[in-house]
């Protein structure tokens, strides 16, 4: 498995913005599907957003639509998550995921093969 490295988490206030980044530790993945999940304490890991190579192929969870934007630098296989208007309920560990294959449903963490260690996002109300 390829290790993914996330960065950009932190402690912010409600209404603030954060930008997360994710990059693979090696360049062995070829044009992978990449996405973000999050896991709050005591809850299951849930899908946030994902992107194929084209911006038009982005998919979002209903809870973040209109506030979060996923983008990527295809040349570097780097994935970003711009999070605006953050809410207390967005507090979680955010994980980057990637896979060479398109397995449905994309919202199921079991269908993703490569993961990062996670970055904490805490939003105070």
Mean pLDDT in each 10-residue stretch from start to end of the chain (125 residues)? 92 98 82 93 97 80 97 88 98 96 92 95 96
d(CA 28, CA 112): 16
Cβ partners under 8 Å of residue 50, min gap 6: 33, 34, 35, 36, 58, 59, 70, 97, 106
Residue 22: both structure tokens together:
């994710």
Residues β-bridged to residue 36: 49, 96
Length of the chain: 125
Phi/psi for 111 (5° steps) reads -90, 10
Cα angle vertex 70, ends 67, 123, to 5°? 45
Strands 10-13 and 119-124: parallel
């Amino acid at each position: 498995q390829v290790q993914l490295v996330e960065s950009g988490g932190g402690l912010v206030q409600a209404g603030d913005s954060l930008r997360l980044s994710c990059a693979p530790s090696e360049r062995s993945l070829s044009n992978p599907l990449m996405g973000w999940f999050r896991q709050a304490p005591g809850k299951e890991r849930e899908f946030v957003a994902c992107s194929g190579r084209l911006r038009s192929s982005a998919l979002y969870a209903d809870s973040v639509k209109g506030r979060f934007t996923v983008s990527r630098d295809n040349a570097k296989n780097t994935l970003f998550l711009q999070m605006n208007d953050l809410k207390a309920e967005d507090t979680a560990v955010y994980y980057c995921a990637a896979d060479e294959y398109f397995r449905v449903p994309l919202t199921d963490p079991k269908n993703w093969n490569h993961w990062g260690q996670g970055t904490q996002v805490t939003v105070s109300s």
